[in-house]
Structure 1
Amino acid sequence: MDSPTGDLDHFEVREPVKQTIPFVFNSPHSGRRYPPEFLASSNLDSIAIRRSADHYVDDIFADAPELGAPLLRAHFPRAYLDVNREPYELDPRMFDGPLPSYVNIGSMRVAGGLGTIPRIVAENMEIYRRRLPVDEALFRIETIYKPYHACLRKLIAATHARFGLCLLIDCHSMPGNIRLSGSDMRPDFIIGDRYGTSASAELSRAALHILDGMGFTALRNKPYAGGFITEHYGRPVRGLHALQIEINRSLYVDEVTLAKKREFPAIAAALSTFMRQMADFVADFSGSNSALAAE
């Protein structure tokens, strides 16, 4: 069932009737509700503004509640606010006036235009026509970013309390032109575990094995090892594991029109199988090995 999350309805939790598996699924970049005032302030048209979104990833993982796990999904778009960043990664060049002293203005993500309030989408496509008021950035962070993470923390804590462990699956998509460095290989999926620091290696290997067995090409950590959410919430020694999954969006979406391809139902069905098999692996593995649970 769907759980509302406030009057502004910036995000929602789709909850199972009863949670039966120690998983939380999160789709932070697939929001499709673009505030009119945001669109009016942008240089970009209705297609270009969506270029950095994780198109329909929330729909791909929509079976999670039926399998017994909650799914947190954003309604706000990534171009408006990126919750897969620190709360205050802000580019001073974007704003009219000085930023608070606690703001991180020096991160590589800020330098690349992809801070908490992004400056660009896709390949250096500038979002805004003019500088934003500082208060606008702080408003988005206070009213959307912080409640979103409070909700995610609550889901993770409740899952951990119920099962003694939690596996967060952070769900994303990547452009179809991604290639492994020095190779012509085009991966279908990338599993990120922050180079072994955000999740047990057994979980990463299981995810790769399942995808490979389904006929997909899957890699680990290259070129995407996981973002802020994976790094921040993954604490394997406490039984808190976080994996990022990146889906090659050319498998299921037309990257020019951004419409779903006819292959979309098959990809969604494949991910349902993936979720089910991951749940079976965790049940079997945690039943005989304490490595996944808190120490």
Structure 2
Amino acid sequence: MTQFDGELSPPFEIVEPANWRAPIIFNSPHSGSVYPAEFLSASRIDVTALRRSEDSFMDELIAGLSDRGFPVVRVHFPRSYVDVNREPYELDPRMFNGRLPSFANTRSMRVAGGLGTIPRVVGDGQEIYRERLDVDDALTRIEALYKPYHRALRRLINKAHQTFGTVILVDCHSMPSIGISREEPRRPDVVVGDRYGTSCATILAEVVEHTFGGLGYSLGRNKPYAGGFITEHYGNPASGLHAIQIELNRAIYMDERRRERTARFNQIAADFTVLADALAKIPLDSLGPFQAAAE
């Protein structure tokens, strides 16, 4: 038994269709909303403040896609507890009692901003913890939550890749409607991230933009979000491995202050089925050569 059994059982979920319609996986890594009691007791801010980091309801917007032949992955634990869209050991030594492993990445931009694998702050910059954590606590979270998730995701990607010769990972996120900086322009409805053309074939970003644009959404690409660790790590177009990030403006589907779904929620969920259908029509031979993915 680990400290996560019960509260976070299971810590994530993969809903895989009996018959895959296409090698397309929809992933929601930041919509988790199950907050362990020990985490809440260690936090200096309440759960309402912690939830500002959530991509609330993003998993629900894509949930119906498994019935249409597309696997869906959703994480149940919150990103403020463990962020799977980071390297496994992006850790801030100032947060912990004890010495971090020598291989920890303590100097990344994400760590500097307080948003490492074990975040120091929530999205709007509020400090999470009352006091330093034990290093062993951080390492236990990574071993028990982060690593099993990535092992399962890698297995799913390999299954698609070996069956179809290619795979598309659609990493689904949501963003606050306005940025922290007043200089930032109004955010569009959808931001498509392809790591500036490096994480997927160009046709994928074009199909996402054409589909959402045709449905009336305003669009951006790579700014302010180009894709995180998942997009960068799993995207290798030369090997037929494609990863693309979709950031949805929260204001178009939820009340950000009350954290409630709005009247447009069901329509946006339906629009994701339109997107999935459009992606499924892309000829597989336009997505790169077959090459067995490494485990």
TM-score of the pair, normalised by structure 1: 0.92
1:173-184 to 2 correspondences below 5 Å? 173-178=174-179, 184=185
* CA separation of 1:89 and 1:155: change in aligned 2, threshold 3 A: same
For 2:229 and 2:172, the matched residues in 1 are separated by 13
* Aligned residues of 1:17 and 1:68 also touching (Cα < 8 A): yes
Deviations 1:222-260 (A, max 9, x none): 111100000000010110000000000111111111111
1:224 is matched with which residue? 225
1:197 and 1:183 map into 2 onto residues whose CA distance is: 25
User: 8 Å contact 1:19–1:70 — kept in the other structure?
Assistant: yes
**What's 1:294 paired with?**
290
1:17-54 per-residue CA deviation (whole Å, 9 max, x = no partner) reads 21121101111100111001100110111211100110
- What do the CA deviations read for 1:186-232 (whole angstroms, capped 9, x no partner)? 31001111111100011111111111111101111111110000000
Whole-angstrom distance in 2 between the partners of 1:179 and 1:37: 29
Q: Matched residue pairs, number?
A: 286
1:120 alignment partner, SS class? coil
Question: Residues 189 and 179 of structure 1: is their aligned pair in 2 closer, same or farther, counting only changes over 3 Å?
Answer: farther
Change (3 A) 1:180 1:238: farther
Which amino acid in structure 2 is aligned with residue 267 of structure 1?
A: I
Which position in structure 2 is the counterpart of 1:197?
198
What's the offset of the Cα at 1:291? 4.2
SS for the counterpart of 1:62 is: helix
1:84-163 to 2 correspondence within 5 Å?
Answer: 84-163=85-164
Q: Is the 8 A contact 2:207 2:278 kept in 1?
A: no
Which deviates further from its counterpart, 48-57 or 5-14? Answer: 5-14
Amino acid at match of 2:23: P
Residue correspondence of structure 1 range 157-172 to structure 2 within 5 A: 157-172=158-173
1:37 aligns with 2:33: no
Structure 2 CA distance for partners of 1:181 and 1:209, relative to 1, 3 Å: farther
| SS of alignment partner, residue 141 of structure 1 | helix
SS of the equivalent of 1:121 reads coil
**Secondary structure, counterpart of 1:198 in structure 2:** coil
Distance 1:204 1:181 in 2: 28
Distance 1:34 1:179 in 2: 25
State the AA in 2 paired with 1:17: A
Unaligned runs of 5+ in 2: none
Find the aligned partners of 1:203 and 1:110 in 2 and give their Cα distance. 30
What RMSD, in angstroms, separates the aligned Cα atoms of the two structures?
A: 2.0
Cα deviation 1:147-180 (Å, max 9, x = unaligned): 0000000000000111111000001001111499
Q: CA deviation at 1:86?
A: 0.2
- Distance between the aligned counterparts of 1:76 and 1:173, measured in 2? 16
SS in structure 1 of the partner of residue 53 of structure 2: coil
Deviates more, 1:145-154 or 1:256-265: 256-265
Give, in whole Å, the separation in 1 of the partners of 2:124 and 2:222: 22
Whole-Å separation in 2 of the counterparts to 1:226 and 1:174: 12
Structure 2 residue 276 is matched with structure 1 residue 275: yes
Shift of the 165–181 alpha-carbon distance from structure 1 to 2, 3 Å rule, reads farther
